[in-house]
Chains A and B, each alone.
Chain A
Amino acid sequence: MRAFSYERAASPAAAAKAVAERPGARFIAGGTNLLDLMKLGIETPTHLVDVNRIGLDAIAPTSDGGLRIGALVRNADLAADPRIRRDYGVLARALLAGASGQLRNRATTAGNLLQRTRCPYFYETAMPCNKRRPGSGCAALEGFSRSNAVLGASDACIATHPSDMAVAMRALDARVETVSPDGSSRTVPIADLHRLPGDEPAQETVLQQGELITAVALPPPIQGLHLYRKVRERASYAFATVSLAAVLVRGRDGQVETGRFAFGGLAHKPWRVEAAEREVARGPAAVSDLVLAGARTTSHNAFKPTLARRLLAAAMAEAAKE
């Protein structure tokens, strides 16, 4: 960990301004990701702006019947909120499938969205990694890539985004609200928040330096069966090897009529292909073909597309059974 300076921001606008003013500055919320990375010398901010006392910690109804989740709402509180549990089951389940009780008590909504990859070479500072040190190469491409991406990756980086929560939010079409250092605010659909790695894997989101996430807005409740299935190396306390957030509605004939399928563990962002969902009537194989089109695997993660297909088929079968 390198020496850094620290300040506590008093308001969202002040926080945004404080980070924008210094090139090496970063927000810190729960710190469960950023601090670990700092201790390992992977993140080396020169200045931290603590956003824990700027409010933004409430969950409130929106005018269109949805919910607005403050950026600082803790993962544990969000998962326990009765409205979330009742109307957004996929989100509650995804949250509870993540990390551990202690971590969820600390982790925030915005911090969870912006947590960084768990690619093992990103974590070892002695290794080449374009995300950690742009231009140094990607050790995972020819390396131990079990956890790495099979979709939307590039020759520069095959990292995945590790969040469970973000996958459920993607299935729900959440919108991310931000405030910029100049005081302006904007809304970014969650589909557009994370970038694919391309030539610039270090550039993970569309957010600008100093742009602060203030909230995540959920649309009005989406009817149907809410599922979150997380496949992992052990029963708890492990990141998803592959995960599926699904919301499924059954038609009169007992078959799935509409479905939303967002996958974790496959790409640099939650992976959802709306065009594929329009083909649910043709059955799970047809949907999977479209979701997984263009998949590129390594010898270590070649099982991931199979796993994704099987999860999707099982989810549709479960919905038909309900």
Chain B
Amino acid sequence: MIGRAVSRVDGPLKVTGGARYAYERQDFGRAAVGFILGASVAKGRIVRLDTAAAERAPGVLHVMTHWNAPAQGPRDGSLPDQFGRPWPVLQGERVSWFGQPVALVVAETFEQARSAAALIDAAYETEAGAFDLASHAHLAYAPRTAAVGLATDSVLGDLDAAMASADVTIDQNYTTPAHFAQPMEPQSCLAHWVGDDLHVRPSAQGVAGARMALARTIRIPRERVHVDTAFVGGGFGSKLRVHEEAVFAALAARVIARAVKVAQTRRQVFTITGRRPETIQRVRLAASRDGRLTGVGHDVNMQGTSREEFVEQTATVLRSLYAAPNRLTRHRVTDLDVGLGEAVRGPGELPGLLAVESAMDELAHELGLDPIELRILNEPERDPERNVPFSERRLVECMREGAARFGWSARAARPGSRREGDELIGIGMAAAIRMHFQGATRAAVHMGRDGRVVVRSDMTDIGTGTYTILAQVAADALGVPLARVTVELARSDLPPSPGSGGSWGASNSSNAVHRACESLKEKVFGSSNASGFGRADLTSVVSRRFPDGVEGEGSIVGMADDPNYRNFSQHTYGASFAEVAVNTVTGEVRLRRMLGVFAAGRIINSKTTRSQLLGGMIWGVSSALHEAAHVDPRYGNVVNGDLAEYVVPVHADIPAALEAVLLDGIDDKANPLGMKGVGELGVCGTGAAVANAVFNATGVRVRDFPITMDKLLAALPPAF
């Protein structure tokens, strides 16, 4: 059962519309609809907000502004649980970023609310703001920590000295733009009050965060907030916390004493929801002629805001990747007057590996070494900065396996030398590394007299397959058919978990469920001889001896409390390979084929895992060739804030020759099941593989991502 390619158990519900998302749910009768009005300036003060016409408009039930908004808990960036921090709305006349909500209109229908919102007469006194990183980079400061509490800086030896004395050095700047996660289901929430109890149906990656944030914002006890987020249409980090839509729905539902639902429009998902910060990254590599690294350095300056610190762990990617005696990695932040930074799939790894793995390719080229050989030469035996052993490190295997499958040996070492008709063809590779995290998680498993099994946890399924894999884990541990297992998730009355995010959801919850099954078996058989019974015996013993069924509980501790996290360096690894064709007439780059080989411990479901990895790889392609949010340096708005102009790959951009291969394995230091996360591994390094393929095709190195045609055009051979 473990490892099998089981199709999603919720698949039929999803494709028949039976799976209801927050905005579609009708749990509380016909809900009124709220529409958010955003500020049309990025920095300044509201000087007029006339809602009279909107209030008189047909169907309007309530208009909320900073004049009449209920009191809320204040923002508090010092609270450690980032996703449970209060998120107050309409806190006065100040406008701090473009699109900041300034009013909510609640009406009988969406159309009425939207058209009434357009009748609100708003005027602002604008102030000059800072909107682009490049011209404010000198204002960077050192944050207290990077995300997940990771160290801001790391220093070993003397990088400057290594650079000064090395045979060969690379010292380059790479820039990456702001990105948005843009899940298909926009951020939305349905809210309803029953007495003093708030019932919400948000679209959230974690139940606990949504519950805590709402309790603190609305100022009611946490126990009075009841959350259910059974189906979520993608998150990618952007639903780790709830945003204004949830707070607005909760506040408005109380004011009008009726259920209210609010969703962000697609354009609002580009303003109200946070972004992956824009970065300027300096990568330094010092090496001897024979290819041994003597120094590695990674300085990252990223955009932030003064409202809340968010520091993508971008400069951490090099900390465990290659051996070198002299090392320096640093995070710096430059506050701008833009939307908040938030996690976007592969936070840190995506931009960080784009830069670092491009630089490694540059070094290989300088040295005249094969890029894979260069990486193998610098493979560390122990974690190079923490000086602890690796729990399991299979990077070299990923590279070798990938090279063999992809036909790496056919790569032309001289860039720009392979031409087919109007196209230059190139192949490139990059390594991937991602930290493995673990969060305290509980689960309960019940077996009834009839042999039916119910698995319960407040863990979410954001489209990744949680319902399916937890059923597999329970079916496997209890020896029952999959069809006998029901999985209940994502409600605040279920055993708590930290939800989906950081690629930890599957391993956290699978291990908790596995342990719950072990405890159930122990209750049935007694601790001493539990393993002595055959699997089929379990259901018969339960049906004979436990008239009310039997329940087991299981948990896994957070990484701070797990000695294996201190004693071992735990990561997942991968190597990706890409072949691109660059049109010599136009500079258009098209992917021709791509392969990723990954090692992530034990795999529970090869199908859902492969889907995660393929999706991640496509995201990597996007980061190399397509995706960029352009911020207007005069107005501070995202200029291309819709899915027509914010370009991500479509089917035609992704060839059928796209494959993800998983190395069979088990990381026995990670957790009882020996599994690690895969949700973000696919985005790691894949962008750099594409960028390196573009260099191999053309001999042009683009360091300002994404690599668009205009950046290649000037360097291409003349057209005829």
Contact = CB atoms under 8 A, between A and B. Distances in A.
Interface of A: 1-3, 39-41, 118, 120-121, 123-127, 139, 142-144, 146, 231-239, 241, 284, 303, 306-307, 309-311, 313-314, 316-317
B312 to A, nearest CB: 24
B585 A124 contact: no
A302 B57 CA distance: 47
Contacts of B422: 314
B635 A313 contact: no
Contact of B115 (A3, A126, A146): A3
Contacts of B196: none
9 contacts: A3-B115, A120-B640, A126-B40, A139-B635, A233-B708, A234-B652, A311-B585, A313-B585, A317-B720
A3 B115 CA distance: 7
Contact of B653 (A142, A235, A307, A314): A235
Interface of B: 40-41, 58, 98, 111, 114-115, 118, 267, 422, 585-588, 590, 626, 630, 632, 634-635, 637, 639-642, 644-645, 647-653, 708-710, 713-714, 719-720
Contacts of B635: 126-127, 139
B713 A306 contact: yes
Given A306-B713, A309-B719, A314-B720, A126 B41 contact: yes
B41 A1 contact: no
A314 B719 contact: yes
A159 to B, nearest CB: 14
A118 B41 CA distance: 22
A309 B714 CA distance: 13
Given A143-B632, A307-B586, A118 B645 contact: yes
A3 B40 CA distance: 22
Contact of B585 (A3, A125, A310): A310
A231 B115 contact: no
Contact of A235 (B639, B645, B650, B714): B650
Nearest to B41: A126
Nearest to A144: B639
Contacts of B651: 236
Contacts of A303: 709-710, 713-714
Contact of A311 (B58, B586, B650): B586
Given A126-B40, A310-B719, A314-B719, 20 more contacts: A1-B111, A120-B639, A120-B645, A121-B639, A124-B639, A127-B635, A143-B632, A144-B640, A146-B710, A234-B647, A235-B650, A237-B650, A238-B647, A284-B720, A307-B587, A307-B713, A309-B719, A311-B585, A313-B720, A314-B585
A241 B653 CA distance: 16
Contacts of B708: 233
B91 to A, nearest CB: 21
A162 B58 CA distance: 37
A236 B641 contact: no
B637 A127 contact: yes
Nearest to A100: B650
B115 A2 contact: yes
B626 A234 contact: yes
A318 to B, nearest CB: 9
A145 to B, nearest CB: 10
A195 B340 CA distance: 42
Nearest to B643: A237
A236 B652 contact: yes
Contacts of B40: 125-126
A310 B587 CA distance: 10
Given A3-B115, A303-B713, A234 B720 contact: no
A45 B118 CA distance: 14
A143 B639 CA distance: 9
Contacts of B588: 231-232
B719 A118 contact: no
Contacts of A40: 267
Given A143-B632, A234-B626, A123 B642 contact: yes
Nearest to A238: B647
B709 A241 contact: yes
Nearest to A120: B639
A319 B114 CA distance: 53
B709 A231 contact: yes
B632 A144 contact: yes
